[in-house]
C-alpha cells in the first residue's frame, strides 16, 4: 500500500494519482506526435487539439463516474470535483474525448476521422499508464485470490462482501488486480493496433483504427467487468458491459460495412504531401523586401 500523497509543497498536497495521469497524457502525446508525423499531419495541431480532448475526456469521465456512484455523491456533492481521489470512468473519457475532437476538427476544417485514428492509439497507451493510479488508490480490484500477485486492500477501501474483515482479514486476504489485467491487455492492444496501422496502411480508411480501438477496448472491458462488484447495473447487466458489447458490435460492424460499401479512400493520408518543415534560411512570407531590391512593375 502506497501513500496517495506523493509530496507536499506547503499546504498543497501533490497526489500520485495526478502525477500518473499527467504522465499518461504526456506519453500518449509523444506517441500521438509520432503517429501524426507518419500520417503527414502537423503534430502542433495535435497538441493544440489535445487540450480540448482532455477537457472533454475528463468532463465525460467524471460525469460517468458520478452517475455510476450517484447514491454516494448525492450525499457528498462537495466531493464531485475532487479528481485527485480517483473516480474517472473510461467510457466517459472515450465519449467526451471523441466529441471534443470531432467538434474541434469540424470548426477548424480538419480530417476528423484521421485525427481520431491518431488519438485512438495514443489514448490506449495513456490508459495503460493511467491504470497505475488504481493501484495507488486501491481501486478496480476483483474477488479474493491465492495467486502470488494478489493485492492487499485495507479496510477503508473494501467494497461489497469483502468488507467483512473476519472472513477477509486485511493481513491475509488478497484480491485480483483487475487494473493490472486491463493494463496488460491494453498494452497488447497498442502493439496490435500499431502493427495493423502500418501493415495495412494502404488498405485502411481514415477512422478504421478508431473502430478497431473501440472493439478491442470494448472486449477487454466486457471480459473484466463481471469480476467487479457494486457496478452500475441496467437490465441486469453492468452498464460497462452494455457499452462494451455496443463498442465491439458497433466498431467491428461499421468497420466491415464501410469496407463492403466502399465508404472511404484506402490509404487516404498516403496520397498527401507532408507539411513543409520550417527552415532557418527561408524568410517569413510577410518579410518586406530589402530597401535596395528592384521595384516590381506596376500593373497596366
Residue 88: pLDDT band with limits 50, 70, 90? confident
Q: Residue 89: is its pLDDT beyond 60?
A: yes
Q: What global pTM score does this model have?
A: 0.85
Which range marks the domain in which residue 178 is found?
A: 5-141+149-271
Whether 280 maps to a domain, the answer reads no
Whether 32 maps to a domain, the answer reads yes
Whether 128 maps to a domain, the answer reads yes
Mean pLDDT of all residues in 227-235: 82
- Residue of higher predicted confidence among 167 and 277: 167
Residue 67: pLDDT band with limits 50, 70, 90? confident
Q: What is the pLDDT of residue 85?
A: 72
* 136-172 b/e (C-beta count within 10 Å ≥ 16 → b): bbbbbbbebeeeeebbebeeeebeeebeeeeebeeee
Strand partners, 234: 237
Closest CA to 129 of 48, 24, 59, 217: 24
Whether 285 maps to a domain, the answer reads no
Interval 198-209: pLDDT, tens: 999 999 999 999
Task: Write out the H or E segment, with its range, that includes residue 238.
Answer: strand 237-238
Whether 300 maps to a domain, the answer reads no
Interval 106-158: pLDDT, tens: 999 999 999 999 999 999 999 999 999 999 999 899 999 999 999 999 999 99
Q: What is the pLDDT of residue 228?
A: 86
Whether 136 maps to a domain, the answer reads yes
Alpha-carbon distance of 150 to 153, in angstroms, equals 10
Whether 13 maps to a domain, the answer reads yes
Q: Give CA 144 to chain center in angstroms.
A: 29
Whether 30 maps to a domain, the answer reads yes
Alpha-carbon distance of 268 to 58, in angstroms, equals 31
Closest CA to 104 of 43, 33, 46: 46
Alpha-carbon distance of 151 to 145, in angstroms, equals 9
CA distances from 259 to 17, 99, 204, 226, 255 (A): 41, 24, 9, 33, 6
Q: Residue 70: is its pLDDT beyond 90?
A: no
The winner for highest mean pLDDT among 48-62, 74-88, 90-104, 183-197 is 183-197
* One-character DSSP codes across 248-264: HHHHHHHHHHHHHHT-S
* One-character DSSP codes across 52-65: HHHHHHHHHHHHHH
Measured N-to-C along each axis, helices 43-68 and 112-130 cross at an angle, to the nearest 10 degrees, of 60
Q: What is the pLDDT of residue 57?
A: 92
Q: What is the pLDDT of residue 297?
A: 39
Q: Cell numbers 493501484 correspond to what residue?
A: 135
Euclidean distance between the first and the last CA atom of the chain, given in angstroms as a whole number? 82
Alpha-carbon distance of 234 to 238, in angstroms, equals 6
The total number of structural domains that make up the chain: 1
Q: Residue 71: is its pLDDT beyond 90?
A: no
Amino acid at each position: 500500500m502506497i501513500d496517495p500523497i506523493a509530496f507536499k509543497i506547503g499546504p498543497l498536497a501533490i497526489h500520485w494519482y495526478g502525477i500518473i495521469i499527467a504522465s499518461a497524457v504526456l506519453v500518449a502525446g509523444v506517441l500521438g506526435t509520432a503517429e501524426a508525423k507518419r500520417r503527414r499531419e502537423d503534430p502542433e495541431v495535435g497538441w493544440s487539439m489535445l487540450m480540448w480532448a482532455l477537457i472533454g475526456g475528463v468532463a465525460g469521465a467524471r460525469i460517468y463516474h458520478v452517475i455510476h456512484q450517484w447514491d454516494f455523491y448525492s450525499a457528498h456533492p462537495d466531493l464531485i470535483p475532487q479528481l485527485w481521489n480517483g473516480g474517472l470512468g473510461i467510457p466517459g473519457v472515450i465519449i467526451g474525448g471523441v466529441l471534443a475532437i470531432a467538434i474541434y476538427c469540424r470548426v477548424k476544417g480538419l480530417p476528423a476521422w484521421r485525427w481520431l485514428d491518431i488519438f485512438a492509439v495514443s489514448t490506449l497507451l495513456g490508459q495503460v499508464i493511467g491504470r497505475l493510479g488504481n493501484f495507488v488508490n486501491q481501486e478496480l480490484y476483483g474477488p479474493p485470490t491465492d495467486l502470488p500477485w494478489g493485492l492487499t486492500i485495507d479496510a477503508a477501501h473494501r467494497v461489497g462482501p469483502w468488507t467483512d474483515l473476519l472472513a477477509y482479514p486485511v493481513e491475509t486476504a488478497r484480491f485480483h488486480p483487475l487494473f493490472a489485467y486491463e493494463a496488460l491487455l491494453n498494452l497488447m492492444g497498442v502493439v496490435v493496433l500499431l502493427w495493423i496501422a502500418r501493415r495495412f496502411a494502404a488498405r485502411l480508411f481514415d477512422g478504421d483504427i478508431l473502430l478497431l480501438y473501440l472493439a478491442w477496448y470494448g472486449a477487454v472491458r466486457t471480459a473484466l467487468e463481471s469480476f467487479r462488484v457494486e457496478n452500475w447495473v441496467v437490465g441486469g447487466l453492468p452498464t460497462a458491459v452494455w457499452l462494451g458489447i455496443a463498442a465491439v458490435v458497433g466498431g467491428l460492424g461499421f468497420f466491415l460495412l464501410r469496407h463492403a460499401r466502399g465508404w472511404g479512400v484506402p490509404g487516404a493520408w498516403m496520397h498527401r504531401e507532408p507539411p513543409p518543415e520550417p527552415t532557418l534560411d527561408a524568410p517569413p512570407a510577410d518579410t518586406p523586401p530589402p530597401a535596395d531590391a528592384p521595384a516590381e512593375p506596376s500593373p497596366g
